[in-house]
Amino acid sequence: MDSDTGPTGSHACGGKGGLAGLAVSAREALVREIDASGVWDPDPVWREAFAAVPRHLFVPHYYVGVIGGYERRWGENPDPEARERWLDGAYADAPLATRLRDGELLSSSSQPSLMARMLVELRVADGHRVLEIGAGTGYNAALLAHRLGDDDLVTTVDLEPEITESARRHLAAAGYHPAVITGDGARGVAERAPFDRIIATCALPSVPRAWLAQCRPGGRVLTPLATGLVALTVADAGHAEGRFLATPAYFVPLRGGDRPEAGPASFEGLPDGARRQDLFRFLLALTRDVLGPREAYALWEREGRPPRERYGVTVDGDREWAWLDDPEGPYTWPLP
């Protein structure tokens, strides 16, 4: 399934010389780096997927921040040293900016160790049908297809035709052919439902009801929310509940539909270090338009600076709310 044909036309599994050998050793080094975090437990099957799927095929070019803007790195650069820098970056445990428009980040390839953690937490089993919201480069869909061993079990959707077309091209180059759909991810993909698992790789202000309607009872939805990752168990089309994972997560917002953008938070009147407190910023993002920054900071201090896993989300019919410790209060906040 994994043809591993590089952007220069070489076969990265075909030998140990040049970029081909570098790609193999770089992928092995990335897997060892993720190994060290212990993320594979209790599902080491994902280790084999990361060892097999060639990330460099999904990032034939990307952008790195430099003073005054971005520098483009690509695999067809005529300079051999520049190609090696591109390959090194492709297998770094770091997010990669892959698509820009007027200086705005439209799409990226997420940090591999975070992707591994999310895939493990998705709790995929053999035979599961999985929907991915946010096709990106196609790399995550390839990992899912490799894990499940059946391309037809995986569907990925993105709003931008250019993104879905390039994802489809990258997937084919690596030997994978899941369903790649152009559409609004907030609406899911009804024609491919029902799904056992739904995973989003873009941030939303709340959980779309369409996802629950397209998920089998007992299914699992894993999505970025605020600056965290919430894992929901679906009871039926109108009910789901779950807690946040401990890990922080920052994703490109989902585009499309009628989803208002939040303005920047104000730290005026708060202690000097408040802006740098990740867990406070998470609470502030989760309660935006409900709690003011001072009120949120007072609650955060009073409750002992709670970690993300003390928070959760409940969807019940037309209502959706976030909560601290208990879905029924005393600390609950409606989501948009």
**Catalytic residue list:** 107
Helix, strand, coil shares, percent, the chain, to 5: 35, 25, 40
Structure tokens at 316: 């019940």
Listed in sequence order, the residues at least 6 apart from 98 whose beta carbon sits closer than 8 Å to its beta carbon are 59, 61, 62, 63, 107, 108, 109, 136, 137
DSSP single-letter state for residue 290: T
DSSP single-letter state for residue 288: T
Phi, psi of 117 (to 5 degrees): -60, -40
Residue 61: exposed, middle, or buried by beta-carbon count in 10 A (0-12, 13-18, 19+)?
A: middle
Going edge to edge, which strands form the sheet with 104-109? 69-74, 61-66, 96-101, 104-109
d(CA 158, CA 264): 26
Q: Which residue from 232, 229, 233 is spatially nearest to 247, judged by alpha carbons?
A: 229
Q: Cβ(198)–Cβ(211) under 8 Å?
A: yes
Cα-based distances in Å from 262 to 35, 230, 248, 326:
37, 19, 19, 26
| CA angle centred on 137, ends 133 and 138, rounded to 5° | 65
Neighbour-count burial for 140-157, b at 16+ CB within 10 Å, e otherwise? bbbbbbbbbeebebbbbb
The CA-to-CA distance between both ends of the chain, in Å, stands at 42
